[in-house]
Structure 1
């Protein structure tokens, strides 16, 4: 260690092949870590010398060691994994101790195409609640993974046989154009509303398999109004954009829950598109159901946004404006 404001620490990695993967193509991963912490990282054989302040050294060291451990376990390391480790470092918690479940202490969701890992404590708690509760609410701003993680858990439960089908719904709230005036069949008219759910499914299931599942009704995607009169048994059911369901629509949807099913309701209270004066069913559900065993409410903030960093900044700006209004 050198004395003064700046210090140096040296990390040694026994497997040079894994060290190459840790550094990334053209040392891209090291550059990412340097920009986040302000340290300088120099490679010397199978060692990494890190220069910076004591606090920055500690953060960079923790992240590098966690990423190398991932590589030893046969996992890849990309930008998202670096982001996840930094978020965990900021929370100062041990994710294995905080949330030990299903995968030997790691919080993972296995799908046909990829392995999904929550990046924040709120996301991990949310995933846990999806497995442990028959009904779970995920409430928070855009980009926090509410729907994405719910669909991933649904796919995992389907391919492991925990449920027989996945049903994904959204309120088809009109914005300027009425569905009846749009060209095409009924399915073609509602497809634009359902596209975000399809995007998530396409991330987790091969295209041909997904097409076959939709044809066989193992996977259904439909407006929430189409659920009226049904009892949804042995299914993983997701209601997305629930802030746009009225109180009566929400009650109708929630009472579709059948034996052997899981139901997830996601929404953002700041993005209500209902006509002025029409109350959101999501707010009523929070008020009426939070004391019922078996129903969990999970909340996200701008800190949990995992899209482009600007998204978090935009959400924070709007939140501050709303607080000052």
Structure 2
């Protein structure tokens, strides 16, 4: 694809013509019915787009013309890499170009981790790509961020990928069995019934990434293990990809116990959200202090994800940001009282 500037017109307008290599390439980038063009014009209302043959002309304010040309270049890169250009992908590209300072966001969105059951799992933000790259290059990685940022899901995808590539012999998934206001003893059923609700999100992610019929067989063989954190005590975990989820609900002692389970040929990913601690009052979170303890330790990486990395419904990112602002106001209040009209105070 090439582009050429037509020149500056009246009232600060600019024009640019983008030449695609072929009609097929244009269809892959813009959609059979030019669906992408309507979304781009909606994002840049001052822009006018016209298609003729293998050429796309862009007219409008100079700044918007440049941004639109950059966006279309990224869309073409996705099409060349066989990444489907859906409305959601276009919205993510726009968001990354506008807010995350991504020089080449298409490189993020075309980084495939795992293909399963007709869908491909890939990072969707710059920070997510950095997180995945940290998992590739470090033995222990901490993924810290709010709900919906993909920290657990991407770690699970990397674990399944490592198992498929025979880089490890097994996957071990674990969580502390702690939730706000609940205790295991008050839940009905056997011990397995009691702990199942805490581990269910890990099972759900596995079912997204593997043939569901193979999971019971792999679990029976010990190739995949999903267990509460307490089951890790006293073990040495060799040749395994180990994920500790909801790590904000570990005590410092539990975090040390988990990290020292690392054996030869193994990798660990620890995920959690330090703003959602469900430990009893006065108990320190092992995830909150571990970055201070392990600062400077070789082959350990800390990846931090933000509200801008939320890849669930758009409102989830807005909700995360609103709660962060509210928490900041609580910490800033000199007497610890919540400002009037701000909602109930959350205890950590």
TM-score (norm 1): 0.88
* Aligned residues of 2:29 and 2:78 also touching (Cα < 8 A): no
* Aligned residues of 1:167 and 1:219 also touching (Cα < 8 A): yes
Which aligned pairs between 1:166-315 and structure 2 lie closer than 5 A?
A: 166-315=171-320
Looking at structure 2, the residues matched to 45 and 184 of structure 1 have their Cα atoms a distance apart, in angstroms, of 67
Q: Flag structure 1 segments of 5+ consecutive residues without an equivalent.
A: 100-105
User: What is aligned with 2:339?
Assistant: none
User: What is aligned with 1:34?
Assistant: 41
| RMSD over equivalenced CA pairs, Å | 2.6
* Aligned residues of 1:111 and 1:155 also touching (Cα < 8 A): no
Q: Could you tell me how far 1:27 is from its partner in structure 2?
A: 4.1
Looking at structure 2, the residues matched to 8 and 280 of structure 1 have their Cα atoms a distance apart, in angstroms, of 56
Q: Could you tell me how far 1:18 is from its partner in structure 2?
A: 3.8
What are the superposed Cα offsets for residues 158-210 of structure 1, whole Å, 9 maximum, x if unpaired? 10011111111111113334323333333333222222222322222122233
- Out of 24, 37, 40, the residue aligned to residue 31 of structure 2 is 24
SS in 1 for 2:64: helix
Looking at structure 2, the residues matched to 143 and 40 of structure 1 have their Cα atoms a distance apart, in angstroms, of 35
Looking at structure 2, the residues matched to 19 and 35 of structure 1 have their Cα atoms a distance apart, in angstroms, of 20
Looking at structure 2, the residues matched to 317 and 174 of structure 1 have their Cα atoms a distance apart, in angstroms, of 23
SS in 2 for 1:257: coil
The alignment status of 1:109 with 2:113, answered yes or no, reads yes
What are the superposed Cα offsets for residues 277-311 of structure 1, whole Å, 9 maximum, x if unpaired? 11111112122112211111111112222222212
User: What is aligned with 2:150?
Assistant: 145
User: What is aligned with 1:120?
Assistant: 125
SS in 1 for 2:11: coil
SS in 2 for 1:141: coil
Cα 1:214–1:238 change in 2 (3 A) is same
Which deviates the most, 155-164 or 87-96? 87-96
Cα 1:20–1:313 change in 2 (3 A) is same
TM-score (norm 2): 0.82
Cα 1:71–1:186 change in 2 (3 A) is same
Aligned residues: 319
